[in-house]
Structure 1
Amino acid sequence: MARAATVLRPRIASGDLSLVLVGSASAHRNAVKSLGLDDPAVSVDPALLAAPDSPPIAFVDVDADRLEVPVGRSTAEGGRIAYDAIAKAVDFAMDGRADAICTGPISKEALNFAGHHYSGHTELLADLTGARDSVMLLAHGNMRVSHITTHVALEDVPRRVTPERISRVVVLTDEALKALGLPRRKIAIAALNPHAGEGGLFGRQDIDIVEPTIRKLRDEGFDVEGPVPGDTVFVKLRARQFDAVIAMYHDQGHIPVKLLGFSVDEKTGRWEALSGVNVTLGLPIIRTSVDHGTAFDIAGRGIASETSLIEAIELAASFARSRSA
C-alpha cells in the first residue's frame, strides 16, 4: 500500500510534462533498491513545485514517521499513508501547484483500517474537493463508459436512476468528450433492464424515467440515444456508432472495458498487460487513475504492468492541456 504512491502531474509549459510522486519516500527507496532500479526522482520542498527549475521527476514525502509497512498486505499504516498522499496531491491541484493528479490503486480495506471510511477513490476525492455528484468514467481506446451509479448494492441502483442524475452524467460526459477534442459527441444510455424493459414486462424504469429524460436532453441539444439494451450497446460503442456509453451500474460498465483492456496469455492464464484509465468527472481538479486494483499477490516482484499508469498520465496531460487552452 505505501508503495502505491500517488502520481502528481504539475505545471504544463510549452507542452512539457513533469511529474511529482507523492507517498512514502522510504517505501519508494526500498522498492527501487529491491528491484535493482535507478531512481530518477528528486526529493523537493512542496513550496517549490511550481518553480521553473523544478526537476522533471520529483518526490514529496508524506511519511515523516518512516512507518514500516509490509509489502502485499492491507494495513492501517499503509492506509494512512495512501490517504495522506491523495490529500496532499489534491491540495497541490486545488492551489494551482499542479495541473492534474493521477492516482495509483488503493486498498479500500487499508483505507478503512486507517479510519477513512470511503468506498473508493471517487467518494474520497469528492469529499476532499467539496464536490458533489461526481461521475466515474472508464476509458480504453474508443471505449468510454460513464456510470450513473458505482459502489452501491445492486438492489439500490433503481432508485438512484433519476432524471437529475442521468442529466448530470450526460452533461459531464459531453464535456469530457469535448475536452478530448472529438468532432462528434454521440452518447448512448444503456438500459437498466433486459431489453430496455420489453414494454414493461421486465420493469418500467427505462420507459418511465430514462426515455423522457433522453427526450428532454435532446431538446437541450445533446446528441444522446437510448435506452439501448445492455447486451448490445457496448458492441455498438466498439463499432464506433457512439463516442461514449452511460452505464447504469458498476459491473455493467466495468466488465466490457476490462474485458477488452486486460490482455491474457492463453497458455499461462497470466495478465500480459492492463490497459484502461479511470477518470473522475465533476471535480474542480483533473483526476485520472489506473483501471486496476492493488494486485497485492504480485507486490514487490517487479512484474506488474505499467501500461494503465502510463495511459492515465497521458490522459491527465491531455485534459490539462485542453483546460489551459
Structure 2
Amino acid sequence: MQMHVEDEYSALYLKRVSLGYTVMLPLYVTSGEPAGIGPDICLSLAHRVDERPVVVLADRALLQQRADILNLSVQLIDYQGQTESSALGELYVEHVALQHEVKLGELDCANAAYVLEQLRRSADYAMHGRSVGVATAPVQKSVINEAGIAFSGHTEYYQEFAGVERVVMMLATKQLRVALVTTHLALRDVADAITTERLEQVIDILLHDLRHKFKIAKPKVLVCGLNPHAGEDGYLGREEIDTINPVLQRYREQDNDLSLSLPADTLFRPDYLHDADAVLAMYHDQGLPVLKSQGFGEAINITLGLPFIRTSVDHGTALALAGTGQAKSSSLHVAVDLALELAHQSI
C-alpha cells in the first residue's frame, strides 16, 4: 500500500527538494479573483518580513489601485529573482496582466483567463524548482465556468498540472488537522465513493505527507466511521464492517497508528484529540464544521499528494467586502506561515 504513493509522487517531491530548497527560492501567492478580497489581503503581506521572498502574482496596477482605495502605504517592487525577503512596507509583485477593468465586487468573465494564468505560473514554477510552493487566495469558480472554461477548483487544477492520480484535502488550525476521504460530493453519493482503493490511496497520501512534509515520524490518525455510531455493529450500515475497518486493520498490522472507525459524534472530544496528529473524515461536512467552528478565519487548506507545497485560505472571495477595509487577512497569513514552515523543514 505504501509503495503506491512512493511510485505516484514521492520521487517528484524529493526531486523538488533537491532542486533548491537550500537557497532562498520564493513562495508565490496567487491573488485570486480580482473583484474580491484577494488583492486586499495580499497587500497585508507587506506588513511582515519573512525568511525568504514572498511574491504576489497579480496585476501591478490593480494592487496599487486597491492600496489607494484602502489608504495603504505599500511599496510594490517588481520581483526579478531577488533572494532576500522584502522589507517592512514592501511587497514583491510579479505582474500578471488583467484583460478587463475591475469593478469592486462585480464578477467579469473577461478576467477568467487572468485568474487561471496566476495558477498556471504558480504551478509551473513549483514543478520546475523555481519556487518552494504556493499559497492561494480565493477564486470564484462560477465565473470561470461562465467564461466557457471547465474549472472545478484550485485543488483539481494543481492535481492535473502535477499529473498525480489523487490528492487529499486537509484543513488545519493550530489545534486540529482534518483530512477528507471524499470532498465535494452529494451526500447520497458518498457511500459508493468510499471504496477500498480510494481509502488506501487517501491513507497512503495522508501518512506520507505527515511524515515527509510535516516531519511527524509516526503519525497518529483517528478515523471517523461513515454511519452514525460507526455503524453500530452493522445495525446502522455495513460500510465500516465491509470496507473501512478491513482497510484500517491492514495498516495497523503494518505498525501504523490508525484507529479503527470511531463514531464521529464523540471522536472530536478533547480527550481523544489531545495526542492525535490528524483526523480522517469520510465526507466534507462530517469533519469540517467542527474544525471551522474552532478556528474559522484562521484555518487553512493544505493539498496533500502534490509534489510541492500548496496551502490556501479557508474562505471565499467575499465580493461585498472588497475595497472596504473589512476583509480579514489572518487565514492568508497562516497559509503563508505554514507554507514557509514546510519549506524550511524540507531543507
Q: Shared topology, TM-score over 0.5?
A: yes
Contact 1:143-1:238 within 8 A present in 2 as well: no
Contact 1:189-1:224 within 8 A present in 2 as well: yes
How far apart in 1 are the matches of 2:324 and 2:198? 42
C-alpha distance 53-323 of structure 1, shift in aligned 2 (>3 A): closer
Query: Which residue matches 1:191?
Result: 225
How far apart in 2 are the matches of 1:188 and 1:91? 35
Query: Which residue matches 1:20?
Result: 55
**Unaligned stretches of 5+ in structure 1?**
8-14, 263-273
Q: 1:297 aligns with which of 320, 328, 336?
A: 320
How far apart in 2 are the matches of 1:238 and 1:70? 48
For 1:153, give the aligned amino acid. A
Query: Which residue matches 2:29?
Result: none
Contact 1:237-1:243 within 8 A present in 2 as well: no
* 1:238-279 Cα shifts (integer Å, max 9, x gaps): 7414221011111112211111113xxxxxxxxxxx111100
* Corresponding residue pairs, total: 301
Segments of 4+ moved more than 6 angstroms:
none
* 1:85-123 Cα shifts (integer Å, max 9, x gaps): 111111111111110100001111122123332222111
Contact 2:223-2:259 within 8 A present in 1 as well: yes
Return the structure number with greater relative CO, CA threshold 8 A, min gap 6. 2
The answer to which of 274-283 and 55-64 deviates more is 55-64
**In the alignment, is residue 94 of structure 1 matched against residue 94 of structure 2?**
no
C-alpha distance 253-37 of structure 1, shift in aligned 2 (>3 A): same
For 2:166, give the aligned amino acid. D
Secondary structure, in 3 states, of the residue corresponding to 1:41? strand
How far apart in 2 are the matches of 1:237 and 1:176? 25
Query: Which residue matches 2:34?
Result: 2
How far apart in 2 are the matches of 1:54 and 1:77? 34
**In the alignment, is residue 278 of structure 1 matched against residue 301 of structure 2?**
yes
Residue pairs, 1:30-69, within 5 angstroms: 30-44=65-79, 48-49=80-81, 51-52=82-83, 57-63=91-97, 65=99, 67-69=100-102
C-alpha distance 237-153 of structure 1, shift in aligned 2 (>3 A): farther
C-alpha distance 237-41 of structure 1, shift in aligned 2 (>3 A): farther
How far apart in 1 are the matches of 2:294 and 2:129? 36
Aligned-residue RMSD, C-alpha? 2.1
Secondary structure, in 3 states, of the residue corresponding to 1:28? helix
Please state how far the C-alpha of 1:317 moved relative to its aligned partner: 0.8
TM-score for both structures, normalised by structure 1: 0.86
Secondary structure, in 3 states, of the residue corresponding to 1:199? coil
